């Protein structure tokens, strides 16, 4: 059975869990969703979701627990939101541990502090979607020579969603909406179910 792990280190973990379950129900597929905290939990997963939160703290725990090594060794696709976008990159504007799974450079807190949080309509996968931005990062740059990189969405000229291979990084919080579109995409397209 396919398993999707929700990395339970910090952030909107229960919201991602609920949204993933809802997306699975809509798709009518047999997939197990589980909360994961350690490398040995992740070894059995076919996909991992990293929620928002404090990317420095999450990054340190990922590195200390060897989670990044397990993901790389097993080529497990990762869907990172907000802090997850930062962690997936190879470079950011702060000295912190990164997973480096995507050839991207990310600017932390691009849209300001917590009090600057906002919601705005965006377009992704050819559909309108409500983007929830909370201390959101944005893409600073990406390696344009990589053929497996695909821009998924922009907002005000900034890249806010990008895919490389089976990894997806987005700057906003789809788990804080009622729309399962992006979670369904991760399940269907990235896990090739």
Annotated catalytic sites, by residue?
82, 173, 175
User: What φ, ψ does residue 27 adopt, rounded to 5°?
Assistant: -80, -20
In angstroms, the CA 139 to CA 65 distance is 27
Give just the sign of the alpha carbon dihedral 155, 190, 179, 56. negative
Query: Residue 103 has which token pair?
Result: 């050839």
> E strand or H helix at 79, and its extent?
strand 78-81
Rounded Cα–Cα distance for residues 22 and 156 (Å): 30
Quote the CA–CA distance of 126 and 14 in Å, as a whole number: 28
């Amino acid at each position: 059975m396919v398993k999707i792990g929700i990395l339970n280190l910090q952030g909107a973990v229960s919201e991602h869990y609920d949204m993933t379950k809802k997306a699975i129900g809509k798709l009518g597929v047999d997939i197990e969703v589980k909360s994961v905290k350690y490398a040995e939990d992740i070894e059995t997963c076919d996909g991992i979701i990293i929620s928002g939160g404090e990317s420095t703290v999450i990054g340190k725990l990922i590195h200390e627990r060897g989670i990044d090594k397990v993901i790389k060794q097993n080529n497990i696709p990762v869907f990172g939101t907000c802090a997850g976008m930062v962690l997936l990159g190879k470079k950011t504007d702060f000295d912190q541990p990164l997973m480096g799974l995507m050839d991207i450079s990310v600017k932390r807190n691009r849209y300001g502090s917590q009090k600057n949080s906002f919601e705005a309509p965006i377009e992704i996968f050819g559909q309108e979607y409500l983007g929830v931005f909370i201390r959101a990062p944005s893409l600073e740059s990406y390696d344009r020579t990589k053929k497996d990189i695909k821009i998924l969405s922009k907002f005000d000229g900034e890249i806010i969603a990008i895919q490389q291979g089976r990894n997806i990084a987005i700057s906003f919080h789809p788990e804080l909406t009622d729309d399962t579109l992006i979670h369904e995409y991760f399940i269907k397209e990235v896990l090739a179910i």
